[in-house]
Structure 1
Amino acid sequence: MTRVGAVDCGTNSIRLLIADDAGDGALTDVVRDMVIVRLGEGVDETGRFTTEAIGRTRDALDGYVEAMRTHGVTRVRMVATSATRDASNRDDFFTMTAELLGRVAPGAVAEVISGDEEAALSFRGAVGDVSTSSTGEGTSSSGEGTSSTREGSGPFVVTDLGGGSTEIVMDSAAYSSNIGCVRLTEHCLHSDPPTPAEVDAAEAFVAERLASAFAAVPLEKARTWVGVAGTLTTLAALNLGLEHYDSEKIHLSRHPIASIERICRELVAMPRAERAALGPMHPGRVDVIGGGALVTLALAREFSRRAGIDELVVSEHDILDGIALGLLD
């Protein structure tokens, strides 16, 4: 059996998937992990990685390399996305990652992928389960979200809302926008909580950055919105009323857009201390979830207006799964 290791290094987090080939284009998870390293901290302003950010990323990747060695990974691929595309000193990052990845597979290096490839990998990883699978039973305590799923209905529009970029993809149409929860927070949201003027400026910035994506992707054809990555999975956890983050309950859960919009507005208005007290909230998302919520609001409004979509399906499977599946081709 082939065992593969996929690593995704984004602006906010670095993540690992070790998986086995289950046949028929499916994966069996062995290890799935995420560490908030904030690699892209300050990159939007300075154009460079900080020494501290590279150090945090190195520490997390070192642990991932040891996990891959322990579990007998035979094929590995690491991709880097928005922040690494933007950083002028990215060679420091590549030197570090080559040293560590070489312990698993000699000659392995991290790859900076384009926004188009990021979108394609996210789409491949996200939609496989949506059309055919179902997960656990039951509804949230509020009744506003459900962890039961029914068969998905294409065409699908997938959004990967990351720290530095947001990908919107439908089959062969895709667009990567330089807007994400970290980038938006550092650019516009400086107060705790953000002032009305900051929120207005952030909404205008989001609208400007997403306009090209909305023009490039034929949203009118979409029937199902599938959202991936930490902002949207956290929103799902909150809407389900979870006391703690639970991937199994979140995966393929469905949420009325009206409920997601309400939670987004509440998060934007909350001071950080209140966000931190929310059970499913990862400490590394506390300061940037408001930015992610504002991007989500813009996406929800456009999908509702253009395609009549009134529900969000949240998937825990994303670019990591797309990377791992590609290693099995």
Structure 2
Amino acid sequence: MAAIDCGTNSIRLLIADIVGDRLVDVVRRMEIVRLGQGVDRTGRLAPEAIERTRVALADYAAVVRDLGASRVRMCATSATRDAANADEFRAMVLDTLGVLPEVVTGDEEARLSFTGAVRGLSAQAPYLVVDIGGGSTEFVVGSSSVDSAISVDIGCVRMTERHLHTDPPSSDEVAAATADITAAVDRALDAVGGRGAATLVGLAGSVATVAAIALGLTEYDPVRIHHSRVSYDEVAKITADLLEMTTAQRLAIPVMHPGRADVIGAGALVLRVIMERAGAGSVIASEHDILDGIAWSTASPS
């Protein structure tokens, strides 16, 4: 089966087989397309952002056809939920991929993320799973299944565009972003009962990049990142360092994806604030997330 996750910053493809109770990757791809460029300000998807996404999706569609995937499910998340011209995006996807994208709700996004993250995880439950995306962050609490979930608009792209305008950001800009993030995190933790969770699990590119830096990797290695544990002190130091760097300096970090360098400071800040407000001494980074959840749902449609 094939799963495609189109978020605010990236579009990702997973083609996998089911072997027993495991997903076995055939292809896993990611491209930074910044579909959510300017959506927080304009409420619309920019034409150039739709075109970048179309180019990447056309490549994915060719891979899906070549490998003969039996089922295809594409989910679009925060940026597309917020856009007044989402119909233009849907028409492009249908023309390029041959199926309509599902513009999932924040609640469904959270549940898919949880499903992908907790399969195969050996850690104390209940879990607080946080998926820090480009436009939103999902908070999910549960053990073997979801007990409560909420999505709030504090993604790394949205917070960068809203607050972090200079390079590097000023102390006033960081303070404004921190206040905005803190208010949203407190609201989310109250809604899902997140402060009572035994284990914090972090998903998506910002968390994985912070984990890779903490591990001292010289190149991005998803096997080493997956289920690595990063302490709050490490997250706090890495966040401070990233926010003091220029984009060019971040680009020089060996594990930094070029399309993430301008927004990683905001993503790390979201993670740091979540850990502070939840009282979490560490976070487990997971390379399995909403993309894996989409694949599982495609394998066993409800």
The two structures have a TM-score, normalised by structure 2, of: 0.96
- Cα distance in structure 2, aligned partners of 1:251 and 1:72: 28
* Residue aligned with 2:19, SS: strand
Match in the other structure for 2:70: 74
Look up the equivalent residue of 1:249 and give its one-letter code.
Answer: R
- Cα distance in structure 2, aligned partners of 1:93 and 1:219: 34
- Cα distance in structure 2, aligned partners of 1:221 and 1:294: 22
Q: How does 1:308-327 map to 2 (within 5 A)?
A: 309-327=280-298
* Aligned with 1:267 (options 231, 236, 242): 242
Greater displacement, 276-285 / 15-24: 15-24
Structure 2 unaligned segments of length 5 or more: list them: none
Look up the equivalent residue of 2:286 and give its one-letter code.
Answer: S
Match in the other structure for 2:117: 126
Q: CA RMSD in A?
A: 0.9
Greater displacement, 170-179 / 74-83: 170-179
Look up the equivalent residue of 1:327 and give its one-letter code.
Answer: T
Look up the equivalent residue of 1:303 and give its one-letter code.
Answer: A
Greater displacement, 289-298 / 81-90: 289-298
- Cα distance in structure 2, aligned partners of 1:201 and 1:284: 24
Match in the other structure for 2:166: 191
Look up the equivalent residue of 2:17 and give its one-letter code.
Answer: D
Q: How does 1:84-103 map to 2 (within 5 A)?
A: 84-102=80-98
Match in the other structure for 2:15: 18
Quote how far apart the aligned CAs of 1:15 are.
0.3
Match in the other structure for 2:196: 221
Match in the other structure for 2:49: 53
Match in the other structure for 2:207: 232
Quote how far apart the aligned CAs of 1:28 are.
0.5
Quote how far apart the aligned CAs of 1:278 are.
0.1
Runs of 4+ in 1 over 3 A off after TM superposition: none
Identity across matched positions, percent: 52
What is the count of residue pairs matched by the alignment?
Answer: 296
Greater displacement, 232-241 / 170-179: 170-179
Paired residues of 2:135 and 2:156 also in contact (CA < 8 A): yes
Q: How does 1:243-262 map to 2 (within 5 A)?
A: 243-262=218-237
- Cα distance in structure 1, aligned partners of 2:152 and 2:163: 17
Quote how far apart the aligned CAs of 1:207 are.
1.6
Quote how far apart the aligned CAs of 1:265 are.
1.1
Look up the equivalent residue of 1:72 and give its one-letter code.
Answer: G
* Aligned with 2:25 (options 2, 23, 29): 29
Structure 1 unaligned segments of length 5 or more: list them: 103-107, 132-151
Match in the other structure for 1:143: none
* Residue aligned with 1:35, SS: strand
